[in-house]
Amino acid sequence: MENQNSSFQYWMPVRILFTEAEPDIREEIAGESIVIVTDPFLYESGVAGRTGDRLGNADVSYFSKVEPNPSTDTVNACAAMIREHEAKTVIGIGGGSSMDTAKAAACLASSGGVIGDYAGKGKSFGKRTVRLILIPTTAGTGSEVTNVGVYTDSETGEKRPVVCPEFYADLAVIHPKYTYTMPRSVTANTGMDAFCHAIEAYWNLNSQPISDSFAVQAMKLILDNLLTAYRLPEDGAARENLCTASLLAGLAFGQTRTTGAHVLSYPLTARYHVPHGTGCAVTLPAFIRISVEKAGKKMQTLAEALGYIDVEALADGVCDLMRSLEMPVALREIGTKAEELSGIAKDAMNYYPQLSLTPAFMTEETVFDLLKSVY
């Protein structure tokens, strides 16, 4: 099949618990000292505290300083807390930022050092000795089932993706009701992030039959449910379907990695401080259009499976969905200036191995042309 490996492997060591009931994870805890990693909102609203309260007599500490696009300083501070408390279990609860922080901090607590020793420096984490449990409260990142984390360098502002087998959690717990209170903008951004994960896994030069199956199902669920969840936040069926979609998209891109839309999100989020989902999605229709360069037949098959006549109609449909979600569909809408496009294209080349998985000809010039097309 076009754009698909004839030889492949699929490795997913994470145990997944998808539950309608409030999760009880007391039997999953190792040791008596636990650190829960979360963001200020989930800590102050009591969501993280309810998880801690259900852990019986365990000694629970909270690291609640996780910011969007977590910094290397934040990861290092979290790891220091885990070491200080000699925690044997780390629970990441929240969006991708909290879960990514928990992944790296748990590994640092086991291997020592700081995240800068590993992110972009070639040093590998040793075996993680701290138990890791991840609980998403958004439907979008899929971080609970991937071995990927992305961190913002506190000194340079650059994004530092890290891929590490020790980042796979021991347990992922998905409880759709945790997503009911997401602000509408977060519902939109995380939903489109999941769609990007799925379609980038599908057209990826590393794609394979298992990831394709998960990706297509995820895209169908998102197209059928995202706008409903955005407009009716407590629609239980829509929320559950989006949680399923996010999970499936994570199971897909965790094998293939992401491509150009995610690569461009790195400079866009760093420069303009937009949410990650916006940074990915704003260029997505343009990437859909150019994906026919190397994956024309496969993308036509996808378009028809999703109910569109062709790839161009699929790109238009995604753009229309984003407008309905009140998301920007042009770079100028996030504050980009025309004279900055060449610098963004140049920044993208720093991630060429990931960029090259896009099914199109990716050079600094072609990326610049794509950026101009969505300016």
DSSP state of 117: G
Stretch among 18-32, 257-271, 292-306, 324-338 having the lowest mean pLDDT:
18-32
Contact criterion met (CB below 8 Å) for 43 and 64: yes
pLDDT of residue 57: 83
Classify the phi-psi angles of 93: left when phi > 0, otherwise alpha if psi is within -120 to 50, otherwise beta: beta
**Same domain membership, residue 207 and residue 138:** no
* b (16+ CB within 10 A) / e for 189-213: bbbbbbbbbbbbbbbbbbbbeebbe
Q: Is the pLDDT of residue 1 over 50?
A: no
Only one residue has tokens 């650059």, namely: 158
Q: What is the mean pLDDT of residues 334-338?
A: 98
- Residue 16 in domain: no
What DSSP designation does 179 have? G
Answer whether residue 266 is part of any domain.
Answer: yes
Q: With a cut of 80, say whether residue 2 has pLDDT above it.
A: no
Share of the chain above pLDDT 70, in %: 98
pLDDT at 6: 72
| Residue that finishes a domain, picked among 135, 155, 174 | 174
Q: Is residue 76 situated within a structural domain?
A: yes
Whether residue 261 sits in one domain with residue 235: yes
Does residue 237 share a domain with residue 156?
Answer: no
Q: Which of 92-96, 160-164, 342-346 has the weakest average pLDDT? A: 160-164
Residue 3 lies in a domain: no
Both 154 and 232 in one domain: the answer is no
Number of domains in the chain: 2
Please give the average per-residue pLDDT across 304-309, as a whole number. Answer: 98
pLDDT of residue 119: 82
Q: Give the chain's mean pLDDT.
A: 95
Q: Are residues 220 and 138 in the same domain?
A: no
Which of residues 174, 195, 214 is at a domain's end?
174
Mean pLDDT on 265-274: 95
| 229 and 282 co-located in one domain | yes
Q: Are residues 113 and 189 in the same domain?
A: no
Q: What is the pLDDT of residue 3?
A: 58
Same domain? 170 vs 226: no
145 lies in some domain = yes
Q: Is 126 exposed, middle or buried, given 0-12, 13-18 or 19+ CB atoms closer than 10 A?
A: exposed
Work out the end-to-end distance of the chain between its first and last CA atoms, rounded to an integer number of angstroms.
Answer: 34
Pull the structure tokens for residue 140: 């979008």
Same domain flag for 201 and 117: no
Dihedral, CA of residue 286, residue 288, residue 293 and residue 297, to nearest 10: -160
Q: What is the pTM of this model?
A: 0.95
Q: The domain that contains 90 carries what CATH number? A: 3.40.50.1970
Q: For 20-74, what is each residue's pLDDT tens digit?
A: 998 889 999 999 999 999 999 999 999 999 999 999 888 999 999 999 999 999 9
- Looking at the fold, whether 130 and 275 belong to one and the same domain comes out as no
Indicate whether 101 and 155 sit together in one domain.
yes
The answer to whether residues 201 and 134 belong to one domain is no
| Average pLDDT, integer, range 15-19 | 97
Query: Which of 145, 174, 203 is the last residue before a domain boundary?
Result: 174
Mean pLDDT in residue range 277-284? 98
Write out pLDDT tens, residues 87-119: 999 999 999 999 999 999 999 999 999 999 988
Asked if residue 4 belongs to a domain, the reply is no
Q: Which structural domain, as residue segments, surrounds residue 220?
A: 184-373
In a domain, 6, yes or no: no
Q: Is the residue at 1 inside a domain? A: no
Rounded Cα distance, 337 and 1, in Å: 41
| Structural contact between residues 251 and 214, judged by C-beta atoms closer than 8 angstroms | yes
Q: What is the pLDDT of residues 197-253, one digit of tens each?
A: 999 999 999 999 999 999 999 999 999 999 999 999 999 999 999 999 999 999 999
Q: What percent of the chain has pLDDT over 90?
A: 92
- Can you give the CATH number for the domain in which 230 is found? 1.20.1090.10
**Residue pointed to by tokens 């100028």:** 332
Which pair of structure tokens corresponds to residue 110? 């086991």
Distances (CA, A) of 134 to 17, 241, 296, 332, 348: 10, 19, 37, 36, 30
Angle at the Cα of 232 from the Cα atoms of 322 and 180, rounded to 5 degrees: 100
